[in-house]
Amino acid sequence: MLASHDVEFILVGVLSAVVQGAPVTTFDVDIVHRRSAENVERLLRALEEMDATYRGDSRKLAPTASHLIGPGHQLLRTTFGDVDCLGEIDGGRDYDALLSDSVDVALGDGHHIRVLRIGALIGIKERAGRPKDIAALPALRATLDEIAKKR
């Protein structure tokens, strides 16, 4: 949905590793989006089509451009599942700062998306140090080793 709206984003979090072959599961989509006004408008159109509202808020509030243009985390529920729109991660790294740590991945529908490299994800999870991040590290490292063997 985001790719069909030409939203500039990088898929981060565990799903970025799944796309690259990691045998792990996740229940949400985490993205870091480019925070330009034009891109935020495209993102808003996509989120509107997905009926996005803030999780944990019974008022069913939809995100606005002023929410998405900032560096914060917008934790949303959509008709497709949970989507976290992150202005930045890992101590202030935004879309442009993460771009060199991402790869282009072709989707089956002809669209392409940017995905955080597994090596970069491992570093982010190590620095975060949360129990759920530490628990994912062995599978992520094994996947990184498998990717390296194929090169």
Between CA 23 and CA 1 the distance in angstroms is: 24
Domains in the chain: how many in total? 1
Question: What's the full length of the chain, in residues?
Answer: 151
Q: For helices 118-128 and 131-150, what crossing angle results, to 10°? A: 160
pLDDT digits (tens, 9 = 90+) for 17-41: 999 999 998 889 999 999 999 999 9
What pLDDT score does 107 carry? 87
Asked if residue 150 is part of any domain, the answer here is: no
Query: What residue numbers bound the domain in which 72 lies?
Result: 3-143
Residue 78 has pLDDT above 90, yes or no: yes
Closest CA to 9 of 117, 140, 110, 98: 98
* pLDDT of 138 higher than 90: yes
Residue 10 · residue 34 · CB < 8 Å: no
Q: Is the pLDDT of residue 109 over 90?
A: no
What pLDDT is recorded for position 7?
A: 98
11 belongs to a structural domain = yes
What single DSSP character describes residue 26? -
Q: What is the CATH number of the domain that holds 89?
A: 3.30.460.40
